[in-house]
Amino acid sequence: MSSCADSHVSFHVLTLFPKMVSQGLSASVTGRAFEKGIISLETVNIRDYTLSRHKKVDDYPYGGGAGMLMQAQPVYDAFRATVDRINESGGDGEKARVIYVTPQGRCFRQDMAKEFAGERDLIFLCGHYEGIDERVLEEIVTDYVSIGDYVLTGGELPAMVMIDAISRMVPGVLKNSESAEIESFGNYLLEYPQYSRPEIWRGKSVPGILLSGDHEKVEEWRLEQSLERTRRLRPELYEKWAAENQEYFIKKAKREERARKKALKQKKALGGS
Ligand code: ADE
């Protein structure tokens, strides 16, 4: 991994639909981060690199079969031009990770987002049609990554999903209040439920503890809600969290034991009087 003192990440997306990517990421949190210069985005139109007179980038697969394949030449030349630009900007284009978004890849996860956020340059390759000629993939791709077990019409949406998730792990992209939340809950757990004004809506009240002003109790309640939700909806994530946070259960058991003894003592004292 090429570490980067100022944490800036440059995304380079090789695609046949550059506007889809640049427009999709230009709003909200990523848009704000581009404007602030914390991250940057270069879209590279693969079609600009075809040597074909008719601007063709696809052809029939050898051996037959459905659909068309993206050809090696325009993809390779778009990649080489991107590497050259990275080198000119002071990076090491030859060492940049090249992520091919494909349903055949490793499933994208939060820890991957964190890891990728430590890179200076990330090149995304978006396929279309039935895929890309295997020879250029062998030549340039370092990571094959999927966003889930379903097939989309192209790699642009998965690349945008990953860029969004990676961006929010880059220091400065989220506002302090937003990033503090990630740190306090760490990996694996689902979000606790949240409430805003009014206090009662359609007869439903905000849980009383959130109005108590007792910060410690609120944090405890939130963690318990997160744990309960994760255990119910994503038991495999809960098991991972539990395995890494044994001390939480030990402390909880001790707390409950103390509370039980205290209640017993009070009961005895009342019975004795
Ligand atoms: N391209 C098409 N479907 C995809 C998926 N599920 N993940 C990544 N890239 C894809």
Q: Which CATH number does the domain housing residue 148 bear?
A: 3.40.1280.10
pLDDT value, residue 128: 87
Residue 162: inside a domain: yes
Q: Which residues of the chain have pLDDT under 50?
A: 1-5, 180, 183-185
pLDDT value, residue 177: 59
Residue 191: inside a domain: no
- The finding on whether 103 has its CB within 6 A of some atom of ligand 1 is yes
User: pLDDT for 46-72, tens place per residue?
Assistant: 999 999 999 999 999 999 999 999 999
Distance CA 181, CA 168 (A): 12
Nearest CA owner, ligand 1 atom 2? 152
Nearest CA owner, ligand 1 atom 4? 103
pLDDT value, residue 95: 98
Residue 81: which domain range? Answer: 9-167
Residue 176: inside a domain: no
127 and 28 belong to one structural domain: yes
Phi first, then psi: what are they for 16, rounded to 5°?
Answer: -90, -5
Residue 38: inside a domain: yes
Phi first, then psi: what are they for 197, rounded to 5°?
Answer: -65, 145
Stretch (H or E) spanning 163: helix 156-167
Residue 179: inside a domain: no
- The finding on whether 33 has its CB within 6 A of some atom of ligand 1 is no
Burial-class residue 15 by CB neighbours within 10 Å (0-12, 13-18, 19+). Answer: buried
**Structure tokens given for 7:** 């944490």
Residue 103: inside a domain: yes
- The finding on whether 107 has its CB within 6 A of some atom of ligand 1 is no
Q: Which of 15, 137, 151 to mutate to test the pocket of ligand 1 (most atoms within 8 A of CB)?
A: 151
Distance CA 31, CA 173 (A): 10
70 contacts: CB under 8 Å, gap ≥ 6? 16, 46, 57, 58, 127, 128, 129, 131, 132, 133
Looking at the CA of residue 102, tell me the nearest atom of ligand 1. 9
- The finding on whether 144 has its CB within 6 A of some atom of ligand 1 is no
Residue 3: inside a domain: no
50 and 159 belong to one structural domain: yes
135 and 240 belong to one structural domain: no
Distance CA 191, CA 188 (A): 10
Nearest CA owner, ligand 1 atom 10? 102
pLDDT value, residue 1: 41
27 and 141 belong to one structural domain: yes
pLDDT value, residue 6: 64
Stretch (H or E) spanning 12: strand 9-15
Q: pTM (2 decimals)?
A: 0.89
- The finding on whether 153 has its CB within 6 A of some atom of ligand 1 is no
The alpha carbon of 211 and the centre of ligand 1 are apart by a number of angstroms equal to 44
Phi first, then psi: what are they for 45, rounded to 5°?
Answer: -80, 110
Residue 15: inside a domain: yes
pLDDT value, residue 108: 97
Please tell me the total count of domains within the chain: 2
pLDDT value, residue 166: 97
